[in-house]
Chains A and B, each alone.
Chain A
């Protein structure tokens, strides 16, 4: 393993203090510890925290870090779940939160240009005020930043219809180790010149360079939307319902599934609108013009007539939120079933979802653990939560479940992660999915960008 500095020399510290004067740099224990943790709950302590205000500082920092072999850990709101922000090799944490301006919103080019520290929901509000639409909507959108979303290629519930972050990034300004600035892509919707470095950067988790500006694609804002929550007796009914909806020729904005165990957790946690005995739920959203939304709603209702449902509730406008709130509280509600949770966000081809979910349940049953499946049925990205009690010594069994869930997913032609990434927490499973040749190519790409391995070292993408 490469050697990185365990401590900073006086010269190192002085350099950083000069480049990041006053409150732009911190070295005290409390601040350093606080910026070394993320939503994975893993943590490590960096040697310094810096908060750049402008690009020139980032350029100079990466020139210096390259020369001194100092690890650089880009960070924004640290809401990722796989440890991508944890400074396992110490070095410098670079908080991009102060670079938080929306630089341009252009309704003719249909693009927005933004700095990385802008909160995704704020960007959405700003473009919506001009009748425009930035669709990616990770569950964390009110707290996470566009820079973090780009770094992790964040998904979201609207991915069924609109795709993920990668589909909306047209251009990036990136500072490379050594301090060079590259501008990939641009404001055009099409661009086939050269290899696609923009798409390569998105989802690279800060291991290739540091993004300082992004140009994102916008769409016209849909006029309206509506949501439907449909209850079924069991999972089979639920999956038939989903088939029926897709079968009627509608591509919903979002299509979320909740299985029986998820329903159980929600029933303990909140007041729920569905009748007892509901064993599967579908939550759908459609958007478009007022007319088309009405027509689509009718078609959905018609298509569901062929399937046995226990319950249907519709909502439109702000009233939809109460339905979606039930989806959002699943994660905390899950803890009503057991004290510890091991969450996966595998994805399988859409047609394999039924088989996958049944397989995950059976893995749980065989090991005597409760497995919850919920999430983005529409795009095959299923959140699989294995609930267990650490204090009862069930951790080993949970890890076994994890491996089995991964195996089944790959057998079905799926992927270990649809949204969250690999990072620290899933690093040891990467060989299950990527063969040696692919890994060699990826290492070569990493080497081309960052030969001295100073960008987010210790992580797997």
Chain B
């Protein structure tokens, strides 16, 4: 990506910003963030805008990265927000930090807390509680079997479970490992990977992000550089964003890392699909903001759902947005509701919305109306 220049207020980001799409609020657009930043830094000392007000407004970003792709000047909203958050760690950052630092403690705790009433919980945990409660309450009956083709990969493989797969939805990890075994892959010993680092990054916790990266690289090297298999689009993006500097400038190691990152779905595109009787009439694919260009999750869901698959709608964000969940839960919900309304516009009751990103799934499951289901594509597999 060429170097960013400066925002010329052309408004091309308005076309793609999911926060603006759902709310219609111009002050939340990347264009507004860059403008406010420029006048805060300029001669007129922010023209009456306090630094605190600027930061709280500017940090309302879902970090989807669409603006950067659409910007003729290569400006990135998420980069601005990461930078701002890195420079000021307020309440929400601290909460998110706590959450991510101790995921082992917090995910199950949130599940337990979900039994209590929301009133006794502080807001970040209150919304987490609701999310957890939703996540575990209404699960979907599997309706497809995948018989994967044997893969004659001589290298070891390891599953990168991600925070959700490790602590909240262990069943996803178990299914993923079973599929890997079904392909005859040589699976390495379960190892102690850290967070992919992506959420730390967007929360502005750059030191913690770098520590996570270092830890993961260490574990991967110790295991003999296995293929790293993921089932979460955000983890995949987070892992792919490791820079040459994270490998102390070792280009060979860096290339090897990039080449090892493998979405689970990419290994399953030649699998045999068997459908059960309870197959739903309609399936929608929610394309995560962080989906790679070659979105093999979408291909796999298309393969399984075949004629049941509704046309994929581009540009819908679930609204999870990492830190937005904690800092502005009502905005996050507004964006998620908008996205679900679009998904279910032409969907009959009982339709299923599938995705391949843990965060999207959590968000969609917690917001979806009772007539529909939202799930990870792993959920539909026996």
Interface of A toward B, CB cutoff 8 Å = 23, 26, 28-31, 33-35, 37-41, 43, 45, 51, 77-79, 95, 97-98, 140, 142-144, 329, 331-332, 335
Given A39-B8, A77-B11, A143-B12: A30 and B36 within 8 A (CB)? yes
Q: How far is the CB of A197 from chain B (nearest CB, A)?
A: 30
What is the bound-complex CA distance between A143 and B26, given in angstroms?
12
Does B87 sit within 8 A of A, measured CB to CB?
no
For the complex, what is the distance from the CA of A217 to the CA of B373, rounded to whole Å?
43
Residues of A within 8 A of B207 (CB): none
Main secondary structure of the interface of A (DSSP, over half): loop
Q: Which of B48-56, B137-145, B231-239 is found at the contact surface with chain A?
A: B48-56
| Residues in A neighbouring B72, C-beta threshold 8 A | 329, 331-332
Nearest-neighbour CB distance to chain A for B74, whole angstroms, equals 9
- The answer, yes or no, to whether B280 is at the interface (CB within 8 Å) is no
Do A34 and B36 touch across chains, with their CB atoms under 8 A apart? yes
Chain A's closest residue to B28 (CB) is A34
Chain B residue nearest to A144 (CB atoms) is: B11
Known: A30-B54, A140-B11. 5 other contacts (CB 8 A): A30-B27, A30-B49, A37-B35, A143-B15, A331-B72
Whether B9 and A29, one on each chain, are in contact in the complex, defined by CB atoms closer than 8 angstroms, is no
Using CB atoms, name the residue of chain A closest to B39: A33
Of the A-B pairs whose beta carbons lie under 8 Å apart in the complex, a sample of 9, sorted by A's number, is A29-B53, A30-B32, A34-B57, A39-B8, A78-B9, A78-B26, A79-B11, A142-B15, A329-B72
Q: Of A23, A34, A140, A329, which is within 8 A of B35 by CB?
A: A34
Shortest CB distance B362–A (Å): 27
Name A329's closest neighbour in chain B (CB-CB). B72
- Contact partners of B245 in chain A: CB under 8 A: none
User: Which residues from chain B contact A41 at a C-beta distance below 8 Å?
Assistant: 8-9
The answer to whether A30 touches B53 (Cβ under 8 A) is yes
Cα A28 to Cα B49 with chains together (Å) = 9
Q: Pick from B8, B14, B29, B53: contact of A28, CB below 8 A.
A: B53
Q: Is B184 an interface residue (CB 8 A)?
A: no
- State how many angstroms separate the Cβ of A141 from the closest Cβ of chain B: 10
Q: Given A33-B49, A34-B27, A331-B72: A39 and B35 within 8 A (CB)?
A: no
Q: How many residues of B contact A (CB 8 A)?
A: 26
B1 at interface by CB-CB < 8 Å: no
Is B73 an interface residue, CB under 8 A from the partner?
yes
- A-B pair number, CB within 8 angstroms: 73
Does chain A have a CB within 8 A of B10? yes
**Contact call A143/B11, Cβ cutoff below 8 A:** yes
B10-31 interface mask toward A, CB cutoff 8 Å, 1 = contact, 0 = none?
1110110000000011110100
* Closest chain B CB from A411 CB (angstroms): 31
Q: Which of B33-68 contact A (CB under 8 A)?
A: 35-36, 39, 47-50, 53-54, 57
Which of A35, A37, A51, A98 gathers the greatest number of chain B CB atoms within 10 Å? A37
B5 at interface, CB cutoff 8 A: yes
Our pick among B12, B32, B47 for the contact of A45 (Cβ within 8 Å) is B47
Q: Return chain B residues, CB-CB under 8 Å to A142.
A: 15
Most buried by B among A23, A31, A34, A329: A34
CB–CB B35/A43 < 8 A: yes
Collect the chain B residues with CB atoms within 8 Å of residue A40's CB.
9
Report B-chain residues with C-beta under 8 Å of the C-beta of A23: 25
| Residues of chain B with a CB closer than 8 A to A331's CB | 10, 72
CB distance from B13 to the nearest CB of A (A): 9
Contact A35/B11 with A29-B49, A30-B53, A332-B72 known, Cβ cut-off 8 Å: no
Choice from B26, B35, B48, B73 contacting A29 with Cβ under 8 Å: B48
Task: Please give me the residue from chain B that is nearest to A37 by CB atom.
Answer: B35
Closest to A121 in B: B15
Choose one: B15, B36, B53, B73; the contact of A332 (CB below 8 Å). Answer: B73
User: B5–A335 contact, CB under 8 A?
Assistant: yes
Whether the pair B11, A37 counts as a contact (CB closer than 8 A) is no
List of B residues within 8 angstroms of A29 by Cβ? 47-50, 53
Assuming the contacts A29-B49, A30-B27, A33-B49, asked whether A39 and B5 have C-beta atoms less than 8 A apart, the reply is no
Smallest Cβ-Cβ distance to B33: which chain A residue: A34
Asked if residues B26 and A39 are in contact (CB atoms below 8 Å), the reply is no
Q: A29-B53, A39-B8, A97-B26 are in contact. Are A77 and B47 (CB under 8 A)?
A: no
Q: How far is the CA of A40 from the CA of B27 in the complex (A)?
A: 17
Please give me the residue from chain A that is nearest to B12 by CB atom: A143
Which residues does chain B contribute within 8 Å of A144, judged by CB atoms? Answer: 11
Residues of A within 8 A of B15 (CB): 142-143
Report Cα–Cα, A179/B72, bound state, in Å.
Answer: 41
**A77's contact among B14, B27, B32, by CB below 8 Å, is which?**
B14
Minimum Cβ distance to chain A for residue B48 (Å): 5
Complexed CA–CA distance, A51 and B25 (Å): 10
**B27–A78 contact, CB under 8 A?**
no
User: Smallest Cβ distance from A60 to chain B, in angstroms?
Assistant: 21
Q: A29-B50, A30-B36 are contacts. A38–B9 as well, Cβ < 8 Å?
A: yes
Task: Among A30, A33, A144, A335, find the residue whose CB has the most chain B CB atoms closer than 10 A.
Answer: A30
Q: A140 — which chain B residues lie within 8 A by C-beta?
A: 10-11
Contact check, B57 vs A30: say whether CB atoms are below 8 A apart. yes
* Minimum CB distance partner of A38 in chain B: B9
Closest CB-CB distance, A425 to chain B, in whole Å? 13
Q: Is the CB of B54 within 8 A of A39?
A: no
* Complex Cα gap A410–B208 (Å): 63
Nearest-neighbor residue (CB-CB) of A40 within chain B: B9
Considering only CB atoms, which chain B residue lies closest to A95 in the complex? B26
Q: Which residues of chain A come closer than 8 Å to B57, judged between CB atoms?
A: 30-31, 34
- A35:B73 contact, CB within 8 angstroms: no
Given the complex of chains A and B, what is the CA–CA distance between A303 and B120 in angstroms?
80
B14: chain A residues within 8 A (beta carbon)? 77, 143
The 7 closest A-B CB pairs, nearest first, are A332-B72, A34-B32, A34-B27, A30-B57, A31-B27, A29-B49, A79-B11
> Across the interface, which residues of B come within 8 angstroms of A143, CB to CB?
11-12, 14-15
